[in-house]
Amino acid sequence: MKITLRGMVALLVVLVLGTSAKAVAEDFYRGKTIRFIVGVAAGGGYDTYARAVARHISRHIPGNPATVVENMTGAGGLVAASYLYKQGKPDGLTMAMFNNSLVVQKGLGDPRIGIDFRKLGWIGAPSIGVPVCMVMGFTGLKTLDDVLEYKKPLKVGATRAGSTGYDLPLILNETLGTKFEVVSGFTGTATTRVALQKHELEAFCSQWESMRVTARAMLDAPGDDKLIPFIVSEKWEDPEVKDLPLFKDVIKDPKKYAIYRGWASQMDFQRPFSVPPGTPKDRIAILRKGLANVLKDPALLQEAKKSKLVITAVSGEQTEKLVDEILSMPPDVKQSLAFLVRKKGK
């Protein structure tokens, strides 16, 4: 019923507009619907990006297909990724967005992730991640040097293993000799922030592109309650982080830097879109072009600006390259990062 109805609508469109059929692949999308599968719940940052792209991409794909967003939550995105890999139809109409820390976990040899990420078609990503570490004013610490010289352990909050808040402090302990003590079990970034405000926690590592918005009140707070960034991954125009030391400059030992890089390469393509293995090349090309163009679309950019979403387009080719890079991590780096991988029972 649904198909015939859509078919009729499509027929009508063709008749009224009198458009002639173009190349086969391009015509393929006419009257079709692209499904966006989002690996997290509706309403979060991931979902907002996916929905913004889904709302506008139709104009940038020949045939102007309809789009529908579907949240398939579970296991930190693994449910959605497994679905895409094992059950997703390779028809160019199914696209998923899930947390790419799964790729890192797989690269590090997590036995629970049964997905060959190289086989997925990578369409590109709308943003990058900018890891940052921050300390509360009441600790009396202000700069990276203060933190490095601090003798006592600094309590840093996190949700769970695999999140920036958990992984990054441990990596800094390994590479810079900081003394972070990770307290995990918080239900989200937001509750972690409250624990900082209660002075239960002393420091926090997260991603600047979201902190600059969601932690704005704390960044602007005076004295003890101020959240002070002290190290970041790249130059960014906000005054709080503009002149901060960068991870890549501070971690001088190349071996140790390789450890950091092994983890941080996932930040270069955040919230990526992918399609199931075996999706025809020409359709992947159309989708890649569509995503690249929608991320330049003024309508989307204006919405993104209002929602304070930072758009940094990463091409499909670049995403594919980065995925491959993570999966072919050198054994010694893999070894050094082994502490990040979930253990498996007997």
Partner 1 sequence: MLEYLYAFNEGLIKVLPLSTQGTETFLFMMVGMFIGFAVGILPGLGGATTLALMLPFIYNMEPVTAFAFLLGSNAVTATTGDITSVLFGVPGEGITAATIVDGHPMAKNGEAGRALGAALMSSLVGAVFGAFMLALAIPIVSPLVLSIGSAEFFMLALLGITFVASLSGENVPKGLVAGGFGLVLAMIGLDPIESVPRFTLEGILGEDNALFLWDGVALVSVTVGLFAIPEIIDLAVKGSTIAGGGQPSKLGGVMEGVKDTFRHWKLVLRCSGLGAYIGLIPGMGGGPAQWLAYAHAVQSSPNKERFGKGAVEGVLGPGAANNSKEGGSLIPTLAFGVPGSLSMAILLGAFIIQGIVPGPDLLNPAKHLTLTFSFVWIIVITNIITVAICFLFLNQLAKITFVKGAYLIPFLLLLIYLGGFAVKNSFGDMMLVLLFGTLGWLMVKFDWQRPPLLLGLVLGGIAENNLFIASRIYGWSWLLHPGVLVIALITLVGMFYPVVSARFRRLREEDQVRSVLPASSVKVVHVPITTRIARALFALFMVGLFAYVVYEAKFGFGDWEPRAALFPWVIGLPSFLLAIYIFIQESLRSIRKIKVEELSSEQQPEIDPIIVRQRTLSIASWIVGFFVAIWLLGFTAASAVATFLYLKFGAKEKWPAAVGLALVAWLFFYGLFDYGLHMPFPTGALLEWVPSSVAALRGSG
Binding positions for partner 1, rule: CB under 8 A: 1-2, 35, 41-44, 47-48, 51, 55, 68, 70-76, 78-79, 82, 86, 112, 114, 155, 160-162, 183-188, 190-191, 193-195, 197-198, 200-201, 213-218, 303, 306-308, 342-343, 345-346
- Which residue lies nearer to partner 1 by CB, 154 or 231? 154
Question: Least distance from C-beta 229 to partner 1, angstroms?
Answer: 17
How far lies 175's CA from each of 68, 156, 165, 261, 333, in Å? Answer: 44, 17, 16, 11, 12
Please choose, from the candidates 43, 109, 53, the residue with its C-alpha nearest in 3D space to the C-alpha of residue 73: 43
Amino acid at 152: K
Distance of closest approach, residue 23 Cβ to partner 1, in angstroms: 26
Max intra-chain CA distance, the chain = 76
Question: Least separation, in Å, of the C-beta of 274 and partner 1?
Answer: 18
Return all residues near 151 (Cβ < 8 A) that are at least 6 apart: 179
Cβ nearer to partner 1, comparing 221 with 327:
221
The C-alpha atoms of residue 215 and residue 265 are separated, in whole angstroms, by: 24
- How far apart are CB 22 and partner 1 at their closest, in Å? 27
Question: Toward partner 1, which CB reaches closer, 68 or 246?
Answer: 68
The nearer residue to partner 1, 251 or 337, going by C-beta atoms, is: 337
The C-alpha angle with vertex 310 and arms to 307 and 316, in degrees rounded to 5, equals 125
CA angle 78, 83, 87 (to 5 degrees): 160
What secondary structure does DSSP assign to 31-65, as a single string? T-EEEEEESS-TTSHHHHHHHHHHHHGGGGSTT--
CB 64 to partner 1: min, Å: 17
Give the integer Cα–Cα distance in Å for 205 and 163.
10
Write down the least CB distance from residue 57 to partner 1, Å: 14
Tell me whether residue 251 or residue 294 sits nearer to partner 1 (CB atom). Answer: 294
Q: Which is nearer to partner 1, 227 or 264 (CB)?
A: 227
Query: Which one, 139 or 319, has the nearer CB to partner 1?
Result: 139
As measured in angstroms, the least distance from the Cβ of 213 to partner 1 is 6
To partner 1, the closest distance from the beta carbon of 35 in angstroms equals 7
* Pairing verdict, β 273-275 and 94-97: antiparallel
Sheet hosting strand 227-232, strand order edge to edge: 180-183, 154-157, 203-207, 131-136, 227-232
Which is nearer to partner 1, 71 or 266 (by Cβ)?
71
